[in-house]
Amino acid sequence: MTETTPTSAATGAELFLNALATHGVDYVFGNAGTDFPPIIEAFANSAASGVEMPLPVTVPHENVAVCMAQGVYLVTGRPQAVILHVNVGTANAICGLINAGRERTPVFLAAGRTPVLEDGMPGSRTAFIHWGQEMFDQGAMLREVVKWDYELRYPDQAALAVDRALAISMSEPKGPIYMTLPREVLAGEASAAAPTPMTPASPTPRPDPQALETAAAMLADAKKPLLVCSSLGKTADEVAALTAFAEAQSVAVVPYRTRYMALPNAHPCHMGFDVTQQIGDADLVIVAESDVPWIPANHKLAEGAKVLHLGIDPLFSRYPIRSFPVDASVAGDGATILAALATAPTPDAVLAERRRELEAKHETKRAALAARAPKAGAGPSSNAWIAKCLADIQRPSDTVVVETPFPIVHMNFSEPGTFFSTPSAGGLGWGLGTSLGIKLADPSRRVIAVVGDGSYMFGNPTPAHFMSRAMDIPTLTIVCNNRMWAAVRRATLGVYPDGAAAHSNQAPMTYLEPSPDYEKVVEASGGYGEKVETADALPAALARALDVIENEGRPAVLNVITAYSDDEARTDAKQ
């Protein structure tokens, strides 16, 4: 443990905020309440006191705040802080925190706690809600989601608690933490200025040499190996390691339900994003940071196929039930494991045969993709057409954030950190805030969020567009508007393909009609909105919207009317 020089912070709030800054936290995304006076006073006093603090950012919805913190982390690799209003603010943030937990994303979530004392001390109760908002155990609301939670007891503890929280949050497997902050503790004076401890995160576990030897032997024996990944590609190192491994060992790669750009779309080892055509042909399936590498009800392994799992927690021990077959596993950093396996001694004849197989599969994929290339028309757009239009204007550095089933097979991702998709928890409302956080962390990027109409509503668009203007971080949001909960429709057809709901024109609880004019929401924050009702109108509308965010510095929303097909939904339900 190392320590910084002592600070001059005098209150618990000042110690707390200074410790965050000392640990490299850039922003405190906050939604204030009656528990915040010591926090607000500390921020206001920071210039005069000389106490370093993160930049306070007012976010008028908790889910947007948590998602913005995730977006900044995805770009910088530094965890950010979110401070909310007692139990009610915490409740609004839980959906976003579940996403962060499942995707192992560090978020420092703090919330006030109703004052403990009813009178007689700075910070004690002064408002009627201070009785109604008290809970027996506020942290219990989200204890299953976070790695660690704690209630601050004394002002002198603040720096120590922040240090421990961030060390735990950034140790693998990474994840969010939660701290509650009683108002009296924040308002109380520290007994003496104290140094801020700087405990490093625990080193990432190195893969076991014997496990690597077993994995290398399995790889050498395989004629048709397949690597399936979902959460690989968080870092440039992971992308480079996967690329080098796939090339050296001639392994087919399918980023299935991928959350990141793991391998460039055009790479000859990239076999698309659907395991359906690959999983039954492989004699070795390498599951690399994938919680759900295939759907057992829909996909079957080849007879005698071996399965190798690798990643920080190959068994996904926080999932109550997950029983995919495991012949061997290697625990550790994905980039380190793949770099080691890239040099595994595979016979030349085996590698040559794999290369021939990959070349044939790649040509088949290219031909199939060309055959189903989306085209313009006078009717509504399809998601594939939206992807094609985005590909036509896509720059290598453009960042696309997707919160809807979206065929990125039609796009051209080639750079690490340019594609992000919904965490597996599926907590809706992730896309808008995350895209804002990415833009905030790197204003030079052109950031485009692609969301469904339901996801757009869950994303709290009024607060999100407010933040875009307030922080001068213009993004483009494309709403794929099919006027329904398509995911619910797909799930229903998957279970009851010929049931009553399948034959209903308006199956219960699946339609979002009448459809709002989503493009008008952004106008309330001075942004640009446009409804795109036909496919042939989309390219020009896209050009107008991008011109607004780049040259006028305003957020833009395209409400793109899309078609829906039950046949397409049945196909999607089997993937």
Tens of pLDDT, residue by residue over 147-196, are 999 999 999 999 999 999 999 999 999 999 999 999 999 999 988 766 78
Query: In 45-63, which positions are buried (b, 16+ CB within 10 angstroms) versus exposed (e)?
Result: bbeebebebbebbebebbb
In this prediction, residue 167 carries a pLDDT of 98
Closest CA to 57 of 43, 37, 42, 71: 43
Residue at token pair 């690490």:
416
In angstroms, the Cα distances linking 225 to 241, 246, 249, 287, 434 are 17, 10, 9, 11, 35
Q: Which fold has domain 383-573?
A: Rossmann fold (3.40.50)
In this prediction, residue 172 carries a pLDDT of 97
CATH number of 209-371: 3.40.50.1220
pTM, to two decimals: 0.94
Residue at token pair 């405990």:
199
> Can you say how many angstroms the Cα of residue 557 is from the centroid of all Cα atoms in its chain?
21
Q: Contact, 351 vs 345, CB < 8 A?
A: no
In this prediction, residue 570 carries a pLDDT of 44
Computed from CA positions of residues 4, 9, 12, 18, in that sequence, does the dihedral angle turn out positive or negative?
A: negative
In this prediction, residue 5 carries a pLDDT of 46
Q: Residue ranges of the chain with pLDDT lower than 70?
A: 1-9, 193-194, 565-575
In this prediction, residue 7 carries a pLDDT of 47
In this prediction, residue 125 carries a pLDDT of 87
The answer regarding whether domain 2-198 maps to CATH 3.40.50.970 reads: yes
In this prediction, residue 193 carries a pLDDT of 65
Query: In 276-302, which positions are buried (b, 16+ CB within 10 angstroms) versus exposed (e)?
Result: bebbeebbbbbbbbbbbbbbeeebebe
Q: Start-end ranges of CATH 3.40.50.1220 in the chain?
A: 209-371
DSSP assignment letter at 205: P
In this prediction, residue 510 carries a pLDDT of 77
In this prediction, residue 6 carries a pLDDT of 42
Q: Start-end ranges of CATH 3.40.50.970 in the chain?
A: 2-198, 383-573
Alpha helices by DSSP H, listed for 142-227, are 158-169, 183-187, 209-221
